[in-house]
């Protein structure tokens, strides 16, 4: 009996350490003090253009936003990491206001769920539905959430896949402005 308890304790300890290591690797970008910087201007590639209708009915033509940075947030209402960063994304939208254009792109989601999600977190910018994953594919989005920042000329200046805090996004936007 004592031997089984020792083995169980060793297994539980090993699993706990492995869980901490995996969590740390998955969230290393949140734990790092490294400054997020945009891609060098000479190395930026044009963002794939799109002209869609937002779930609110307004047209969303990426070319219309030339002259200011654009933050594209690829998300899904059912995505747990998306929920975890949604309030921070709303703070970024409020902090930068009209100096930056925010656009959310709902991937693998229903429009009504995406609108409810956006309303819950205070997102006031256009929400575009991407039911066929066309935009996600064109932007090389490996998963949700993914944040893409375009510069004033419509080029990809920075991209991050996975949950991220507000600090790196703010750093990149400050550098672009």
Would the pLDDT of 18 be above 60? no
pLDDT at position 32, please?
45
Residue 91 CB partners (closer than 8 Å, separation 6+): 166
Q: Which of 6, 174, 168, 150 is nearest to 66 (CA)?
A: 150
Using DSSP's 3-state secondary structure scheme, residue 19 falls into: helix
Would the pLDDT of 108 be above 60? yes
pLDDT digits 0-9 by tens, 137-152:
999 999 999 999 999 9
pLDDT digits 0-9 by tens, 36-91:
889 999 999 999 999 999 999 999 999 999 999 999 999 999 999 999 999 999 99
Percent of the chain exceeding pLDDT 90 equals 78
pLDDT at position 41, please?
93
pLDDT at position 3, please?
78
pLDDT digits 0-9 by tens, 120-131:
999 999 999 999
Architecture of domain 36-176: 3-Layer(aba) Sandwich (3.40)
Alpha-carbon distance of 151 to 173, in angstroms, equals 9
pLDDT at position 31, please?
47
Residue 119 CB partners (closer than 8 Å, separation 6+): none
The residue extents of the domains of the chain are 1-32, 36-176
pLDDT at position 156, please?
97
Would the pLDDT of 19 be above 50? yes
Nearest-10 Cα torsion for 100, 125, 51, 151: 20
Higher pLDDT, 24 or 122: 122
pLDDT at position 7, please?
75
- Average pLDDT over all residues of the chain: 89
Percent of the chain exceeding pLDDT 70 equals 85
């Amino acid at each position: 009996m004592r031997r089984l308890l020792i083995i169980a304790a060793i297994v539980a300890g090993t699993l706990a350490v492995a869980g901490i290591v995996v969590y740390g690797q998955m969230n290393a970008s949140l734990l790092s003090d490294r400054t997020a910087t945009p891609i060098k201007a000479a190395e930026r590639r044009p963002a794939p253009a799109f002209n869609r209708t937002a779930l609110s009915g307004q047209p969303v033509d990426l070319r219309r936003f030339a002259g200011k940075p654009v933050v594209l947030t690829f998300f899904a209402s059912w995505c747990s990491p998306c929920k975890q960063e949604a309030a921070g994304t709303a703070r970024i939208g409020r902090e930068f206001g009209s100096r930056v254009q925010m656009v959310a792109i709902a991937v693998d989601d229903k429009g009504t769920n995406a609108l409810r999600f956006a309303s819950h977190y205070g997102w006031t910018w256009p929400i575009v539905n991407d039911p066929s994953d066309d935009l996600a594919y064109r932007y090389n989005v490996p998963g949700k959430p993914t944040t893409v920042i375009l510069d004033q000329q419509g080029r990809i200046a920075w991209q991050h896949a996975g949950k991220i805090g507000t600090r790196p996004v703010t750093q990149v936007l400050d550098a672009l402005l």
